[in-house]
Structure 1
């Protein structure tokens, strides 16, 4: 499917403005994957003989992360909040103009820059949602609970990045043809419809909170 003229013009303008010549999409993906994967390995290495009660942290953290994803996407990513203007600009202004429901696929690996989180948002995520709450869980519960919390939170972040990139790969690519990719890409494509993007399909990964809060389309 050809890219609509207005989208093609915006893509050209944004690439010229925000993509340095030396940018590497594969290096970006390696960074956003390796940092949390290293954190997961470190955290799991410090978990010792967890009890079944401590293991309950795993599903609880997954549900918490799904809720955070939904809230963050529904609010600062699509609504202007004081102090979070860069998040809104990065997502609504740039990402949703670069990719529309009519043209979801990247054209080269350099377009990874418009899909993957920039470094400052990774630091924001780790510093706000993962590490502090992991420390709190370790203090209030047990060290195992803290490390398990951090490991699941970071795994969810990797899941988010990989799934989101998957949706924006060409649908006829090897990964794009996967059954799960097709189904979840349809969910995300509907979110990229300008008429729906501020009201529906805020979960990028698993649409649990979309279903729970009535924003599933």
Structure 2
């Protein structure tokens, strides 16, 4: 009870100080999934005269995206690096205080501000990394490979956002009851134990990177229910 009261106090503080008055959660969802699907369809539409060998860009992009998800989550999101402090603050200092393994669901749609990537970061990452990747792939392998690679990266991102949002839905929600979502949510919930968040289960989607790097944890640590409230709310992570 003490832990949940502390989490609720932080959530109220976050809503008052971090969520803009004009924030529109449905607009955020539309930007993420509507805009993402439009960009994905555009990339596929630009593919022309596809050769079977060029389809190898799809698994290559999937593996690259999974590795990038793992690296980005394990280090910049959980360890402070110069120039990346905003990412660390938003994730370790805010997201992990808003959600713990003992309090995973959000309370209302406005809480999506603490779940989905903000549009500014989406545009930054896809603009800063997607455009150079497209140019390099187009130069060395041709435009079809470049468009398929970017399309797969966008699809992976949409899959990431869908799964991450599903993990933070109420347990009774129909999406949360999908068997695959339930299995993957268990891994993510273990990651939200403040004692494990900097050490285990960094893949949000499919735990390939965790499996390869030895950071996959299928079981929570014992004694979670006896954690001090300050540790449970992740206050140490924000310091």
Do they fold alike, i.e. is TM over 0.5? yes
Alignment of 1:52-201 (within 5 A): 52-201=52-201
List 4+ stretches of structure 1 deviating above 3 A. none
CA distance in 2, matches of 1:153, 1:131: 12
Is the Cα–Cα contact under 8 Å of residues 130 and 154 in structure 1 kept in the other structure?
A: no
Please give the per-residue CA displacement for 1:110-164, whole angstroms capped at 9, x wherever unaligned: 1000000012210122023322212210111111001001100111111111110
Q: Is residue 18 from structure 1 mapped to residue 18 from structure 2 by the alignment?
A: yes
Per the alignment, in what secondary structure is the counterpart of residue 169 of structure 2? coil
CA distance in 1, matches of 2:128, 2:72: 12
Per the alignment, in what secondary structure is the counterpart of residue 205 of structure 1? coil
**How far apart are 1:32 and its partner, in Å?**
1.2
CA distance in 2, matches of 1:113, 1:134: 30
Q: Is residue 4 from structure 1 mapped to residue 9 from structure 2 by the alignment?
A: no
- The aligned length equals 217
TM-score, normalising length: structure 2: 0.88
**How far apart are 1:20 and its partner, in Å?**
2.3
Farther-moved stretch of structure 1 (72-81 vs 172-181): 172-181
- Alignment correspondent of 1:38: 38
What is the aligned-residue RMSD (CA, Å)?
A: 1.4
- Alignment correspondent of 2:226: none
CA distance in 1, matches of 2:178, 2:195: 28
CA distance in 1, matches of 2:76, 2:128: 14
TM-score, normalising length: structure 1: 0.96
**How far apart are 1:37 and its partner, in Å?**
1.5
CA distance in 2, matches of 1:151, 1:12: 38
CA distance in 1, matches of 2:82, 2:108: 34
Please give the per-residue CA displacement for 1:14-39, whole angstroms capped at 9, x wherever unaligned: 10111123322121111111222221
CA distance in 2, matches of 1:25, 1:183: 27
Farther-moved stretch of structure 1 (76-85 vs 36-45): 36-45
